[in-house]
Every structure is written in structure tokens, then in C-alpha cells.
């Protein structure tokens, strides 16, 4: 007896974890925001460039969290020549490769911007995705801190171009040389301590996310999150944890930040030697060089009219990646939002960057200074929606040309109507479903949110007429009409016009609808 054939199982439609589909509203909001950012970058004299999503893994460098295998922290595959390739982790390392590969053709200083998707092979969570968009701007070939100062000013101008009011954001500035000096002072200098230094820096970089107590755990033995996952710490002793946590703690709310901005205390504190827990006065040249560069940036931005209410020196700014070599900066939003747990919190960072003088040198062997910053597009878009600054532009659904006859000649006439509307700049579509059920066409129009429906049967065609149905007004009036007899007699929101007047009448009716929406607020 033959075995009964098993029915093939349906393929389950499912998204990979940490990835998301994007609806039309989100895509339009992103395009709107990116256009405003691009306008600022262009005004500063930056030009676009585009790099591919894949790079050879070794080009992405040692800066990624890939300790034992090429795809730890990044998504990787082997090419047919057995070379490892990875989806880009950020937009900076690919730019360094691009500059190095074209160093003889590129005019330095090279001022460029690009927007694109980046990928992280990390544990996804609420609001944390494995694919997200960044928008970067970089100056390559400019060694002076004036280039870093300009980046900070451009970040401030970008925030305001997006409608974020002065006082609702701040650009925080620090210097990795200051951080390196601190790490040398606690005995973490030298190549042998490179990984511990990076662990300390990443711990400090989590100040926004975990607070000072969470940072203290990461500076010590490590931290266990709510899911039970354990992150090993830097293994500092208690004395050094106290020192680092004390040096890099910062104001927790907007009011405290503004008070600190108005004070000279933070700048004076920067100049103090290391004291107390380290035993006596201890400083080093790296630290002092970083302080001098910070103060130069402050002088430059003040001279250009950017006060501490916009650009602010802050020792707690770290930036987690190891390739930064000088000034680092971060754009932070200061207004309150409610998080997934219902807690009122400050929105926090929406982008940042810094100087990375060694990144191009990995390929060329030559010193090629560079600085730049990156905006987290998705995160900033969430902030702008919270402020009501994005996605407010109305997109009107298309006018629907209905189909009463399905022969080729009739379809050609309907399509001509659609093309005439489109040529006049009006969104329009011809119904493409089963035309024999006219009721379904109006249901489709209702679900689609179509403002108008164009109707022409054989009788209208013979008379050179057509009907234009105002679906928005009709929906409103339907609630005011008690019975079908009244409905048929009143024929609300539907007019008969000459076929030649189609474009003019549709234009008039759409304008009237727009006026009604404006009055409704």
C-alpha cells in the first residue's frame, strides 16, 4: 500500500529579528527629514558620495566587536574567492577605504556627505534594530580643530533646520586625548591594554542608557541586564572606578545642563591636575593637548556666534568606537519623552562623531587627517515626531477613475482620463480590480482614502458627460441623511460635468477639500 502523500506546508511569512518593514508614512517622513539635513550640508559646501553596503571585512578594521570570528558584530559571508565580506557597520570606515583607494584623484580637503543603511549583528530589542539609516558628513584632509569646530556648528544648524528650538538641544564636545590621558593615569596605557581601554570607553559611553551606577558596574566586574545576559566589565579596582566615574559624571537634566553651561566651573575643572585617589598631582601631555584643543574649539565657535547654549564642552562625551583620535562630539536632545516603560526620560543622543586621523592611514601609510559626524536617522525621526515637526505634510490619496465597461476601447478612454489628470499634476489611478462589481470599487476608494471618484457609464459617454463624486463630503453627509430615498433624491456631493471639464472640475473640488481641511485645523 503506497504511503499517502504529505500535503506541502505553507511557507510562513515572517521578518528576521531586528529588522522592520517601512510603511509609506515613514518613508515620506524620512525623505522630508533627509532633504532638510542635505540642504544644510550643501550650504556648508559638502558634496554627496555613495559607497556600497558590502566591504571586505578587513577594511572595516579592528574597531568592530569581532573578537574571534569575522561575523561577530557584523553580518559576513565569503566571496567566491574565499575572502570575507561584511555588511557595513557604519559609514565612516567605508569612506576611509574610498578616500584611500582614490587618494590621487580626490581633491583634499575632501568635504562629503552620504546617507545609507548600516547593519549590526547584535541582539535586537525594543527600538533597537539590526538595520538602520545614518546620515554622515566628513572633512578629510583638514588637520586643524577649526574643521571640528565647523562640524559642531553644522550639527547645531542641522538641529535648528529640523525645527528643534534652541534650548531643546545641545552639541556636547570632548576630546579623546583627554580620555586617553585619564586612562594612562590609571595604568591602562600601552598596546597590551588596548582592549581594556576600549571596554572602559564603551562603559562611559553607556552613561545615557544605564546611568552612573550601570557605568560603575561596567567599569568593574560587569553588568547583568534584565534578560539575564551578562556583559563583562573592565575590571578596574574600586579606587579607579571612583576616579573615572567622578570625572565623567554629568548633569542629568536640562535644567542642570543649562546651569552648568552658564558656569565657568566646568572649564576650570578641566584644567585641574589629577588629584585625590591617584595620589598627588598627576597629569600628562596627552591630557593637556586635549584640553588645549577643546578650548580652541570653544574660542572658534564663540567667535562665530555659537554660545554654550548650543555647543558645550563636556568631559562625559566618549563615542564608543576606538578609531577616534581627537575631538569627539554628540548632538543631544534635552526635552522629555515617555519611554516604553511609561517613564518620563530625556530623549538623549541623536548623533555624533569626531576626529579619526588614523583611519585612512591604515590603507595608505600616510597621515590623512579626518573628522566627521553621523546622524541616526530613525532615532532623530522619532524625536521630530514627538515634537510634531515631521510627517505633518499632507499626502492626498489619488483620485480614482472607476471602470464601468471592461472592453479595450472603454479601458483606453478611462486610462486617457487618468493620464490627463496626471499631466495636470494630480495623483490619479484607474481601478485595476474586478470592474464588474462596482460597489467594490467604491469600497476600495473608501479604504484607500480617495478624495474623488470619476464615473462614466455608457449613457454618460454617449452624452459626453461624466460624474465626479466627492467621497470626503459624501462620507460626511451620509451621517446626516436618514433613509435611502433622501439619499437618492439629494445625490449629495456628486456632480455631472462635461467630459472636457474633467481636469478643471477635479482641480476645483480638490482645492475646496484642502480649504475645508485647513479650516478644520
Least confident of 17-21, 212-216, 340-344, 368-372: 340-344
Higher pLDDT: 350 or 487? It is 350
Contact 140, 148 (CB under 8 A): no
**From start to end of 366-512, where are the E strands?**
370-376, 399-401, 428-430, 452-455, 465-470, 494-498
Give Rg (Cα) of the chain: 30
For residue 271, pLDDT over 60 is answered with no
For residue 202, pLDDT over 70 is answered with yes
The model's pTM = 0.81
Look over the chain and give the mean of its residue pLDDT values, rounded to a whole number.
84
Count H helices, E strands: the chain?
19, 18
Higher pLDDT: 394 or 321? It is 394
For residue 99, pLDDT over 70 is answered with yes
Contact 261, 312 (CB under 8 A): yes
Pairwise CA distance, residues 297 & 311, whole Å: 10
CA distances from 160 to 24, 28, 109, 233, 314 (A): 26, 20, 26, 38, 21
Label residue 178 by pLDDT band (50, 70, 90).
confident
Label residue 272 by pLDDT band (50, 70, 90).
very low
Across the range 510-518, mean pLDDT stands at 89
For residue 68, pLDDT over 70 is answered with no
Please count the CA atoms within 13 angstroms of the CA of 352 that sit on its side-chain side: 25
Pairwise CA distance, residues 12 & 438, whole Å: 34
Pairwise CA distance, residues 306 & 267, whole Å: 17
Across the range 417-428, mean pLDDT stands at 97
pLDDT in tens, 40-66: 999 999 999 999 999 998 888 755 544
Contact 85, 79 (CB under 8 A): yes
pLDDT in tens, 369-407: 999 999 999 889 888 887 887 766 678 999 999 999 989
Across the range 204-211, mean pLDDT stands at 79
Amino acid at each position: 500500500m503506497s504511503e499517502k502523500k504529505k500535503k506541502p506546508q505553507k511557507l510562513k511569512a515572517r521578518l528576521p529579528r531586528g529588522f522592520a518593514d517601512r510603511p509609506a508614512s515613514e518613508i515620506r517622513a524620512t525623505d522630508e527629514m533627509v532633504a532638510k539635513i542635505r540642504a544644510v550640508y550643501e550650504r556648508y559646501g559638502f558634496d554627496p558620495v555613495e559607497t556600497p553596503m558590502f566591504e571586505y571585512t578587513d577594511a572595516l578594521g579592528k574597531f568592530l566587536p569581532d573578537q574571534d570570528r569575522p561575523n561577530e558584530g557584523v553580518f559576513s559571508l565569503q566571496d567566491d574567492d574565499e575572502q570575507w565580506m561584511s555588511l557595513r557597520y557604519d559609514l565612516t570606515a567605508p569612506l576611509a577605504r574610498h578616500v584611500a583607494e582614490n587618494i590621487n584623484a580626490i581633491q583634499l580637503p575632501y568635504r562629503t556627505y552620504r546617507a545609507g543603511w548600516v547593519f549590526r549583528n547584535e541582539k535586537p530589542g525594543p527600538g533597537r534594530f539590526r538595520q538602520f539609516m545614518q546620515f554622515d558628513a566628513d572633512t578629510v584632509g583638514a588637520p586643524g580643530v577649526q574643521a571640528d569646530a565647523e562640524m559642531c556648528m553644522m550639527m547645531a544648524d542641522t538641529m535648528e533646520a529640523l525645527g528643534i528650538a534652541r534650548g531643546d538641544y545641545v552639541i556636547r564636545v570632548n576630546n579623546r586625548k583627554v580620555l586617553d590621558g585619564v586612562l594612562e593615569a590609571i595604568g591602562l596605557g600601552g598596546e597590551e591594554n588596548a582592549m581594556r581601554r576600549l571596554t572602559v570607553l564603551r562603559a562611559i559611553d553607556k552613561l545615557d542608557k544605564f546611568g552612573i551606577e550601570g557605568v560603575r558596574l561596567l567599569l568593574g566586574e560587569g553588568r547583568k541586564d534584565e534578560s539575564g545576559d551578562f556583559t563583562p566589565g573592565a575590571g578596574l579596582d574600586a579606587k579607579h572606578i571612583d576616579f573615572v566615574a567622578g570625572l565623567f559624571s554629568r548633569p542629568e537634566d536640562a535644567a542642570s545642563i543649562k546651569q552648568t553651561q552658564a558656569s565657568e566651573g566646568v572649564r576650570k575643572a578641566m584644567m585641574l591636575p589629577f588629584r585625590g585617589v591617584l595620589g598627588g598631582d598627576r597629569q600628562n601631555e596627552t591630557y593637556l593637548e586635549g584640553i588645549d584643543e577643546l578650548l580652541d574649539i570653544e574660542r572658534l565657535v564663540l567667535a562665530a556666534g555659537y554660545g554654550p547654549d548650543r555647543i558645550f564642552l563636556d568631559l562625559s562625551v566618549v563615542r564608543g568606537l576606538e578609531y577616534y583620535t581627537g575631538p569627539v562630539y554628540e548632538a543631544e536632545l534635552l526635552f522629555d519623552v515617555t519611554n516604553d516603560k511609561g517613564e518620563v526620560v530625556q530623549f538623549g543622543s541623536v548623533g555624533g562623531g569626531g576626529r579619526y586621523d588614523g583611519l585612512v592611514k591604515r590603507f595608505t601609510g600616510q597621515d590623512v587627517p579626518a573628522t566627521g559626524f553621523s546622524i541616526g536617522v530613525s532615532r532623530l525621526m522619532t524625536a521630530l515626531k514627538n515634537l510634531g515637526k515631521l510627517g505633518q505634510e499632507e499626502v492626498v490619496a489619488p483620485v480614482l477613475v472607476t471602470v464601468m465597461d471592461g472592453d479595450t476601447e472603454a479601458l483606453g478612454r478611462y486610462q486617457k482620463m487618468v493620464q490627463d489628470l496626471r499631466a495636470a499634476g494630480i495623483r490619479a489611478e484607474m481601478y485595476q480590480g474586478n470592474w464588474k462589481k462596482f460597489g467594490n470599487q467604491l469600497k476600495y476608494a473608501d479604504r484607500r482614502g480617495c478624495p474623488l471618484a470619476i464615473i462614466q457609464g455608457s449613457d454618460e459617454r454617449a452624452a459626453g458627460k461624466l460624474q465626479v463624486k466627492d467621497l470626503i463630503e459624501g462620507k460626511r453627509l451620509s451621517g446626516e441623511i436618514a433613509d435611502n430615498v433622501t439619499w437618492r433624491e439629494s445625490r449629495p456631493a456628486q456632480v455631472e460635468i462635461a467630459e472636457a471639464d474633467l481636469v478643471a472640475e477635479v482641480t476645483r473640488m480638490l482645492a475646496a477639500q484642502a480649504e475645508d481641511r485647513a479650516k478644520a485645523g
